[in-house]
């Protein structure tokens, strides 16, 4: 039996703690899920088990005990690690076949007929049989990830460590990845440890460990975990109760409330844990601003917007409209063209074809944008913050950049910090703060000059469940109070629920553009947005 | 070490270098540098427009004048002008150099008395002026020495070193080209080996090494051998440029040239290995390697300034870097041809081997098979 025992393993990066001491056990044939946001410690644990990172504590696998990467050498032959990142372990310049040869050689596999059959089977399962001569750099994100998976499976590892294999992958490829996995585990009795940021995938795992802040906050079967929090989940209360959280149509409370119970999801575990640890979420409000009523109803209009990179068409004749007082979600897998589109809107990339109207003005040159800059707010992927400056200094810098009068700046920073709940972090460096806080103050930096439209590029990736929920609440209020238009991209399909209207991109093309309500009406069988998108992906 | 693993990596590296067009950098950069520097650096100054005012009109002064007239470094004209008129000619950019031989020049020399020759040089290009000054000093001392009755006396007078380049048999190319070869073979392999390792770190493919049972020695061999092989070919390409384009003589042993160059490449790629240990992005690795290699390579190769004419501290520094030893062997194989019969060459070769061994060992020890 392949048995893995992790005993009090902790990981530190220079001064920072990546993982507080955790212990777990698992056996072959099992899929064990590690669920949590970026930086919660999932990757640290995987790297430690794979012997790719020094750690404290002890790991036992396959009757070998090791407590350092060096001692782990003897088990590396039977471990397969697929690190986080789309096709991270692939070499852009090598073809699919060359990859399989390379991995077979460095794993010292005898290339006999049994191996060749196995190799063919893997290629077939991954749907790559027809692409064996194609270079990895020219594969789609989903195909790259499938190739990375079969490269990791090539030496028939007894322990498979997959770090966020499905993040940023389109829904169809994601399903296929799970199919390959289930198939292999059933046949080879592999022990598989998978981490994910998607709560919905927990149902595909035998057991899950929920990670937050480098700790395991709960573990067990997904059903059991939900059972545990069922007594604390209610339909949203109209009025806030003491020591409770009301968010996304739910109210969570440790004390029994006279409310109708509501079927919880795994998210509830994180909220309940938050209440236990910190109490209710501090109230967030929005700085008051007089509504700009002379702003046109259509903030942005794109007609046939196209962007090419050489042969590759990143955006193929995309039509889109963004209206005042609307949250528009731009969804799609990695490489679908979301960021390219936003960059064209902002003038960070030249437009190859099509017309763009911002606030009713046709944009032809960068001069046309100059006047509009004051009315646009932008939060980039990974937040463009200066790491060497404190939160306050960052905000002051952005305020100056937007020509806010200097005597107003200090007051404004205080106001925004108070309302958005990061006042006590004002003099801390962004690198020492949790992602959720950075995310909120990036938004503050983008809205201090009171724009009428806000562009957000994947602001929620890597942010934990609670902070993400708070963030969506904040956007909702911002929309309500300021009547601002918001365009937001995300690869969490579940977040589509919080948008007013959704545009789905696939391979640079717009597949659908409709309100959330309408989409549910068109797809009556869908349980959630994942299902709706799968319908669109399958129909093509 | 398993040959299969090394072969797999080796094949992958070559494919990658070829398909990512890095191969162009491997073969164009060294030749380009050689040609640019080979033609570009001229420390020699020829055809200096010279005016000589001979106030002595003696045998000694005629000798001096005729030496200037016969030199390719000077276009001399003898005229009897007043000092002020002559200086105006420099101001008008009609002359670069004025030499005034005083009255009783010969008499003073014969009596062993002090005499002074007036030399005015157009200083608008300081380095050219400095070179010209050295030439003039050389010629004047040379002439005095020939005429001097007593050797002791003349030696007391000759205190300034004539510049090395002022030697009719040595062409500029003969000094520059071997120097550039040593510079190029220090930079290029270091850059390539640093990039090959850091690229995997930056892209994340380094996990294939971390998480498999590939040994450190196998990984290193697989990364460094392609560099040695590819740049090994450059040894011959640069040799061909030197012989056929720059028409350098080749008086030494080709075997010594090849062997010392291969050792030198190992030193260079070990420098790249060391850089790759402390950096994690390709651009930083690239810039850092360039800084680390170009400056000592340029200053201490003896290409611009002979080590023997450096200040004391510089001589010590020059001995710390491996550049000097290799350049010395290069000068020998191209220009001198003593080969291993000269004990200095043997010593320098041993020092190079020592460098290679130490750097490679340190690099291998510092390389860690895990996330930093």
- Domain range summary for chain A, segments of one domain joined by +: 3-220, 228-278, 326-341+373-539
CB contact under 8 A, B371 and A53: yes
Confidence of residue B262 (pLDDT cuts 50, 70, 90): very high
Q: How many CA atoms lie within 13 A of A97 on its CB side?
A: 7
Q: How far is B225 from chain A (nearest CA, A)?
A: 16
**Which CATH architecture describes the domain A3-220?**
3-Layer(aba) Sandwich (3.40)
Burial of A206 (0-12, 13-18, 19+ CB in 10 A): middle
What is the structure's pLDDT at A55? 92
Q: Phi/psi of residue A470, each to 5°? A: -60, -40
CATH tag, B48-157: 3.40.1710.10
Three-point CA angle A219, A34, A499, nearest 5°: 105
What the block records as the tokens of B18 is 């070829």
Residues 204-243 of B with CB under 8 A from A: 204-205, 207-208, 210-214
Segment A160-164 shows an average pLDDT of: 91
What is the structure's pLDDT at B160? 36
Q: How far is B15 from chain A (nearest CA, A)?
A: 7
Cα–Cα nearest to A25, from A145, A169, A193: A193
Q: Do residues A350 and A509 lie in contact, with contact meaning Cβ atoms separated by under 8 Å?
A: no
Which of B7, B205, B213 lies closest to A105 in CB terms?
A: B7
Confidence of residue B187 (pLDDT cuts 50, 70, 90): very high
Confidence of residue A383 (pLDDT cuts 50, 70, 90): low
> Between these two residues, B318 and A318, which has the higher pLDDT value?
A318
Distance CA B292, CA B299 (A): 12
CATH tag, A326-341+373-539: 3.40.50.300
Please provide the average confidence, as pLDDT, over all residues in chain A.
Answer: 85
Q: Angle, to 10 degrees, between the axis of helix B254-278 and the axis of helix B343-366?
A: 30
Q: Phi/psi of residue A135, each to 5°? A: -75, 145
Query: In this complex, is the C-beta atom of B369 within 8 Å of any C-beta atom belonging to chain A?
Result: yes
Edge-first strand order for the sheet with B118-121 is B74-78, B48-54, B97-101, B118-121
Query: In this complex, is the C-beta atom of B23 within 8 Å of any C-beta atom belonging to chain A?
Result: no
A184-188, A299-303, A433-437, B276-280: lowest mean pLDDT where?
A: A433-437
State the ipTM, two decimals: 0.78
pLDDT in tens, A111-126: 889 999 999 999 998 8
Q: Do residues B250 and B333 lie in contact, with contact meaning Cβ atoms separated by under 8 Å?
A: yes
Does B130 have pLDDT greater than 80? no
Which of A54, A80, A92 lies closest to B370 in CB terms?
A: A54
Q: Assess whether the region A3-220 and the region A326-341+373-539 belong to the same CATH fold.
A: yes
Distance CA A56, CA A65 (A): 13
| Tokens 């028939």, located at residue | A156
Distance CA B16, CA B150 (A): 71
Segment B321-340 shows an average pLDDT of: 88
Percent of the residues in chain B that have a pLDDT greater than 70, as a whole number = 89
Q: How far is B368 from chain A (nearest CA, A)?
A: 10
Please provide the average confidence, as pLDDT, over all residues in chain B.
Answer: 84
Q: Do residues A161 and A46 lie in contact, with contact meaning Cβ atoms separated by under 8 Å?
A: yes
Cα–Cα nearest to B371, from A20, A144, A19, A43: A43
CB contact under 8 A, A90 and B7: no
What is the structure's pLDDT at B159? 40
Which of B11, B16, B211 lies closest to A50 in CB terms?
A: B211
What is the structure's pLDDT at B164? 34
Mutate to test the interface with A, among B20, B205, B370, B372 (most CBs of A within 10 A): B370
A137-146, A243-252, A366-375, B299-308: lowest mean pLDDT where?
A: B299-308
Segment A292-318 shows an average pLDDT of: 84
Which of B9, B208, B370 lies closest to A89 in CB terms?
A: B208
Q: Do residues A415 and A287 lie in contact, with contact meaning Cβ atoms separated by under 8 Å?
A: yes
Please tell me which of A200-204, B90-94, B238-242 the model is most confident about, judged by mean pLDDT: B238-242
Query: Which residues in chain B are classed under CATH 3.40.1710.10?
Result: 48-157
What is the structure's pLDDT at A449? 85
Q: How far is A80 from chain B (nearest CA, A)?
A: 7
Which residues in chain A have their CB less than 8 angstroms from residue B12's CB? 91, 94, 98, 102
Which of A69, A83, A93 lies closest to B16 in CB terms?
A: A93
**Using only C-alpha atoms, what is the Rg of chain A?**
24
Give the distance from CA B353 to its chain's centroid. 21
What is the structure's pLDDT at B163? 33
Q: How far is A311 from chain B (nearest CA, A)?
A: 18
Task: Identify the helix (H) or strand (E) that includes residue A437.
Answer: helix A435-447
> Between these two residues, A161 and A438, which has the higher pLDDT value?
A161
């Amino acid at each position: 039996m392949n048995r893995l025992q992790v005993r009090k393993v902790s990981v530190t990066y220079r001064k920072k703690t990546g993982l507080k001491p955790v212990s777990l056990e698992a056996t072959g044939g099992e899929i064990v899920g590690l669920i949590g946001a970026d930086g919660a410690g999932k990757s640290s644990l995987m790297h430690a088990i794979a012997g790719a990172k020094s750690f404290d504590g002890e790991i036992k696998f396959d009757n070998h005990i090791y407590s350092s990467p060096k001692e782990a050498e003897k088990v590396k032959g039977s471990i397969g690690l697929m690190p986080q990142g789309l096709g991270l372990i692939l070499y852009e310049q090598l073809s699919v076949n060359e990859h399989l040869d390379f991995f077979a050689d460095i794993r010292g596999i005898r290339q006999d007929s049994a191996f060749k059959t196995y190799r063919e089977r893997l290629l077939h399962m991954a749907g790559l049989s027809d692409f064996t001569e194609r270079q990895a750099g020219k594969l789609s994100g989903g195909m790259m990830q499938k190739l990375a998976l079969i490269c990791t499976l090539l030496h028939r590892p007894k322990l498979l460590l997959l770090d966020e294999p499905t993040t940023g992958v389109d829904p169809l490829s994601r399903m296929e990845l799970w199919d390959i996995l289930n198939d292999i585990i059933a046949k080879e009795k592999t022990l598989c440890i998978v981490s994910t940021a998607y709560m919905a995938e927990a149902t595909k795992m035998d057991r899950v460990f929920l990670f937050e802040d480098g700790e395991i906050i709960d573990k067990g079967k997904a059903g059991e975990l939900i059972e545990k929090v069922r007594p604390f989940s209610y339909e949203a209360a109209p009025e806030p109760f003491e020591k409770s959280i009301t968010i996304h149509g739910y109210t969570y409370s440790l004390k029994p409330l006279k409310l109708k119970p509501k079927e919880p999801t795994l998210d509830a575990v994180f909220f309940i844990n938050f209440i236990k640890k910190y109490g209710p979420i501090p109230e967030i409000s929005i700085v008051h601003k007089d509504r700009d009523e002379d702003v046109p109803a259509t903030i942005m209009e794109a007609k046939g917007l196209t962007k090419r990179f050489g042969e590759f068409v990143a955006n193929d004749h995309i039509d889109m409209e963004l209206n005042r007082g609307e949250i528009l979600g731009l969804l799609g897998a990695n490489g679908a063209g979301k960021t390219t589109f936003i960059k064209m809107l902002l003038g960070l990339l030249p437009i190859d074809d099509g017309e763009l109207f911002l606030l009713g003005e046709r944009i032809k040159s960068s001069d046309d944008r100059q006047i509009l800059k004051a009315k646009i707010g932008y939060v980039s992927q990974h937040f463009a913050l200066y790491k060497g400056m404190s939160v306050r200094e960052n905000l002051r810098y952005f305020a100056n950049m937007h020509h806010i009068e200097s005597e107003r700046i200090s007051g404004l920073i205080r106001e925004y910090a108070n309302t958005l709940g990061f006042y006590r972090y004002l003099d801390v460096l962004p690198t020492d703060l949790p992602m959720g806080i950075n995310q909120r103050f990036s938004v503050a930096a983008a809205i201090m000059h009171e724009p009428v439209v806000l562009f957000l590029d994947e602001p929620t990736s890597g942010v934990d469940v609670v902070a993400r929920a708070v963030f969506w609440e904040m956007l909702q209020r911002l929309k309500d109070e300021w009547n601002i238009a918001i365009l937001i991209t995300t690869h969490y399909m579940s977040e589509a629920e919080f948008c007013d209207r959704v545009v789905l991109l696939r391979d640079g093309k717009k597949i659908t553009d409709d309100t959330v309500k309408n989409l549910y009406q068109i797809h009556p069988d869908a349980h959630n947005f994942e299902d709706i998108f799968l319908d669109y992906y399958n129909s093509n | 070490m398993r040959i299969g693993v090394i072969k797999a990596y080796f094949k992958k590296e070559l494919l990658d270098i070829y398909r990512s067009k890095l191969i162009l950098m491997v073969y164009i950069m060294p030749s380009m540098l050689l040609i640019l520097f080979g033609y570009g650096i001229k420390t020699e100054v020829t055809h200096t427009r010279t005016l000589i005012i001979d106030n002595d009109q003696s045998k000694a002064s005629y000798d001096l004048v005729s030496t200037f007239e016969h030199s390719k470094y000077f276009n001399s004209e003898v005229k009897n002008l007043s000092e002020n008129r002559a200086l105006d000619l420099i101001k008008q950019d009609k002359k670069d150099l004025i030499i005034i031989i005083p009255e009783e020049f010969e008499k003073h020399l014969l009596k062993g008395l002090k005499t002074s020759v007036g030399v005015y040089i157009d200083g608008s290009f300081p380095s050219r002026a400095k070179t010209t000054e050295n030439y003039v000093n050389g010629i004047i001392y040379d002439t005095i020495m020939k005429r001097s009755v007593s050797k002791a006396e003349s030696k007391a007078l000759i205190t300034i070193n004539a510049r090395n380049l002022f030697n009719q048999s040595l062409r500029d190319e003969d000094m520059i080209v071997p120097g550039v070869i040593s510079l190029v073979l220090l930079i290029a392999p270091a850059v390539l080996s640093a990039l090959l390792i850091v690229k995997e770190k930056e892209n994340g493919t380094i996990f294939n090494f971390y998480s498999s049972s590939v040994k450190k020695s196998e990984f290193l061999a697989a990364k460094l051998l392609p560099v040695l092989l590819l740049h090994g070919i450059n040894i011959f390409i640069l040799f061909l440029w030197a012989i056929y384009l720059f028409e350098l003589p080749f008086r030494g042993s080709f075997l010594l040239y090849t062997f010392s160059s291969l050792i030198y490449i190992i030193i260079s790629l070990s420098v790249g290995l060391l850089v790759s240990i402390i950096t994690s992005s390709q651009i930083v690795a690239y810039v850092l390697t360039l800084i680390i290699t170009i400056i000592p390579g340029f200053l201490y190769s003896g290409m611009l300034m002979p080590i023997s004419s450096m200040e004391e501290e510089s001589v010590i520094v020059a001995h710390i870097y491996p550049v000097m030893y290799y350049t010395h062997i290069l000068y020998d194989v191209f220009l001198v041809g003593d080969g291993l019969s000269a004990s200095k060459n043997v010593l320098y070769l041993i020092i190079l081997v020592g460098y290679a061994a130490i750097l490679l060992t340190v690099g291998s020890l510092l390389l860690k098979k895990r996330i930093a």
